[in-house]
Amino acid sequence: MPNSAKPDLRLGIAGLGTVGIGVVKIIQRHADLIAARSGRRVVITAVSARDRTKNRDADLSAYAWEADPVALARRADIDVFVEVMGGHNGPARAAIEAAIAAGKDVVTANKALLAHHGHDLAIAAEAKGLLIRFEAAVAGGIPVIKALTEGLAANQIRRVMGVMNGTCNYILTRMQSAGLPYDQVFEEARQLGYLEADPNLDVGGIDAGHKLSLLAAIAFGTRVSFDAVELEGIGAVSIDDITLAADMGYRIKLLGVAQMTGRGLEQRMTPCLVPAESPLGQLQGGTNMVVLEGDAVGQIVLRGPGAGEGPTASAVMGDVIDIARGLRLPTFGQPATSLATPIAAKTATPAPYYLRMTLLDKPGALAKIATCLGEAGVSIDQMRQYGHLGVNAPVLIVTHKATRDDIDHAVGLFAGTGVLVGKPVVLRIEAV
């Protein structure tokens, strides 16, 4: 319960890029509001960034300056170390380790760092009774870590899904709305500044995979296991598939799915088809969406901005205010020492699949493909043969529910038919 006698909560902020400056601005703008809600004042003691001389969109003159984030983390006059530098090794990691060693709670927006080192950091923090909070690391301004860890804490989580990389969703929805090929929209996105310095972090699904691995740890009480995420980026998604999928009532999304099965934990971040009229299917542009499914609650859908100064700073400050209010939870919702090591399971939950292939224009070609599917135990829900362009016929097949292994088996058999041109496109249709 708030108590006006509580001392100020003193922050050290490492990183003065978009997010760091966003945090500074919120604290300056809403000092009284935050105090009313927290029961104490939240103040900035010191900040750190690479370049002190850079012109920044906030007045930092009242704060001590540390050139070295590790030195900032160790300052005696901070209670919480706010890490918004980014990078999964190097200074960010060293500074968080220093903060924990020095007895500071940590708030971070660093999904890459936590996906790789979150478990070890949580062990270290919890051994000293310290917090690592990371709402801003997943889905920007959407309070999804809180919803999953706290709001849905009485549920056995069945499945977590999410569109959590705004750049990929921008590219895919722009391809569809403008009818443009991937390469052209990718170039647009680059020029708009939507891509990371290493674009593969975005379009390769790595960034979104980091986020998924953090949600999975909380949802299933398992150690973060990013290496076990099946990753497939959007670089191979063609405008043909987007158009044909739309024609059949679907949208293609870079969709993260984590679920615990009898065989182990499935985690995948791959292009999937989802029904066009579902909330995920309707998600346009850079907005993020996370779907949480629990045995008691059913399905909860959260939608909001996945990036940007205000949304990300809002999430960082939500964590800071929780600390100011005295909420103290283990990093992943239960003690890190109690998290199980998950058995990584290759995706084996059956689903319908979308197959697109080109067949030689020979009599019986389609029958041969259908026979292969039958041999692999895969039954066909819909099949469409499009008008012949030259000598070859594009064919679209939507299967009934099948395992990925059975689909791969069928596709392997296709090769022996002698009617297939090139490689088939295989996309999972996720029931949402």
> Which residues contribute to the site for its own copies (CB under 8 A)?
1-2, 22, 26, 30, 33-34, 36-39, 126, 129, 135, 141-143, 146-147, 150-156, 221, 277, 279, 282, 294-305, 308, 310-311, 313-315, 317-318, 320-322, 325-330, 333-335, 338
Taking a C-beta distance cutoff of 8 angstroms, is the pair 95, 66 a contact? no
| Residues linked to residue 372 through DSSP beta bridges, in sequence order | none
The Cα–Cα gap between 64 and 331 comes to: 29
Give 145 or 355: the residue with its C-beta nearer to its own copies: 145
Give 26 or 234: the residue with its C-beta nearer to its own copies: 26
State the catalytic residue, choosing from 111, 211, 346, 368: 211
DSSP conformational letter for 351: B
Query: Among 49, 61, 48, which Cα is nearest to 11's?
Result: 48
The Cα–Cα gap between 322 and 335 comes to: 18
**In the complex, least distance from residue 139 CB atom to its own copies, rounded to whole angstroms:** 10
Both tokens of residue 250? 């679907």
The Cα–Cα gap between 297 and 295 comes to: 6
Both tokens of residue 408? 């791969």
Q: Sign of the C-alpha dihedral, residues 361, 364, 366, 368?
A: negative
DSSP conformational letter for 54: S
Give 150 or 361: the residue with its C-beta nearer to its own copies: 150
**In the complex, least distance from residue 16 CB atom to its own copies, rounded to whole angstroms:** 17
DSSP conformational letter for 339: P
Q: Is 111 a catalytic residue?
A: no
Give 118 or 233: the residue with its C-beta nearer to its own copies: 118
Give 270 or 312: the residue with its C-beta nearer to its own copies: 312
- Burial group, residue 37, by CB count within 10 angstroms (0-12, 13-18, 19+): middle
**In the complex, least distance from residue 342 CB atom to its own copies, rounded to whole angstroms:** 15
DSSP string, 3-44: -TTPPPEEEEEE--SHHHHHHHHHHHHSHHHHHHHHSS-EEE
The residue behind tokens 């569109």 is 163
**In the complex, least distance from residue 214 CB atom to its own copies, rounded to whole angstroms:** 16
Give 185 or 317: the residue with its C-beta nearer to its own copies: 317
**In the complex, least distance from residue 330 CB atom to its own copies, rounded to whole angstroms:** 7
- Angle (deg, nearest 10), helices 31-38 and 18-29: 80
**In the complex, least distance from residue 82 CB atom to its own copies, rounded to whole angstroms:** 13
Residues tagged active-site: 211
